[in-house]
Amino acid sequence: MGAMTDSDPEHPADPEPPAPRRRWRRARIVLGVLLVVVLTVEVVLIWPELSDSVRTLGHISWPWMVAAVLASLASMWSFARVQRTLLGVGGVHIRQRDSLAVAFAANSMSVTLPGGPVLATTFTYRRTRIWGATPVVATWQLVMAGALQAIGLALIGVSGALLVGARTNPFSLIFTVGAVFAFLVLAQYAASRPDALEGIGITAVKALNWIRKKPPLNGVRRWKRIVDQIGAVRMNRTDATRSLGWSLLNWITDASCLAFACYAIGGFPALAGLAVAYAAGNTARSAIPLLPAGLGVMDAVLVPALTAAGLTGAQAVSAVVIYRLVSFLLMAVIGWIVFAVRFRGSEEEDPMRDGDGPDIEPLWGK
């Protein structure tokens, strides 16, 4: 019998891994190197601020530090509940620990890697597909979670701004409570009836284009696509209220982390001013994503805003550093540990396997 060759039809050679898998294996190595480089650069960038503020920290109240850590963990837990609730509306039922693991891992990608929001969104999409979600439901969940986050952050900012006015004019407290109630009703209606947003959104887009001197229809098609994605799965009033509640709790607990960071260094800002500072800082981070987690941009907004809320300059810097160490660095470290333990090394869980990904803008980001 002659020697067998690789072309022997009865004894085929082991097939090579598909090209997308080989590319993703190489990409994982590159991503690992990039992660080390980026984290090193980030430490170098924040070290001057960190070293200066450490000298002014003085006596830290460790019970408040523990409270800050617990609040940040609660923020991640509540975001996982948002994801779980939305998937449940689409008929995909998962355990809270699975949703929490994905929330931690995706958050770490988003805040530490170049192009992190895109990778985090793709990773979350792939996980929801593995859980059994259809492409429509997986995309809808991502879009809806982002929309609810925007509503929750706006509510915190509006509440803080109105309460600042109520502090100087007690009679405006009535209007504050009324405005917050009206905002909640409108947010719930928008979550349960996304089709009603199309006309309002188009009008707002055209007005913004007029202010920016852009073509009238600039962005209209994108807005219609977002509304179509939001309306892909219908939510009843109970589901919409529950999802909005968890999303709002996500922001409240993260804002509480900032408040506890202030308390830890002996600063006690006005709560209304703190809410305005928190909303402004997160808005700036989303609008100007120069660095991962808004380093530099968010801090530049938070420090003067906290000073206006009643802290000294040194206290504001120290509070922001503590808040960043807890909500950014600690949560990112936990997320990468979760990723290494739960998701690394499994081919079926590669977030970009076979090029499968959502056709939406990145929506992740704490």
179-212 pLDDT per residue, tens: 555 655 665 566 556 666 566 667 777 777 787 7
Q: Evaluate whether 121 touches 364 at the Cβ level (below 8 Å).
A: yes
What mean pLDDT is predicted for residues 86-113? 91
How is the chain split into domains, by residue range? 61-344
How is residue 288 written in tokens? 């100007």
Which residues make Cβ contacts (< 8 Å) with residue 293, sequence separation at least 6? 111, 112, 285, 324, 328, 332
What mean pLDDT is predicted for residues 80-91? 91
Assign residue 198 a region (left: φ > 0; alpha: ψ between -120 and 50; beta: otherwise). Answer: alpha
What mean pLDDT is predicted for residues 35-57? 59
pTM for the model stands at: 0.71
pLDDT band, very low/low/confident/very high, at 2 (cuts 50, 70, 90): very low
pLDDT digits (tens, 9 = 90+) for 124-179: 999 999 999 888 888 888 888 888 888 888 888 777 776 665 555 554 555 555 55
Q: Evaluate whether 142 touches 124 at the Cβ level (below 8 Å).
A: yes
The pLDDT value given to residue 85: 93
Ranked by mean pLDDT, the top range of 202-206, 316-320, 353-357 is 316-320
pLDDT band, very low/low/confident/very high, at 4 (cuts 50, 70, 90): very low
C-alpha–C-alpha distance, residues 57 and 266, integer Å: 9
pLDDT band, very low/low/confident/very high, at 32 (cuts 50, 70, 90): low
For the chain, the average pLDDT equals 75
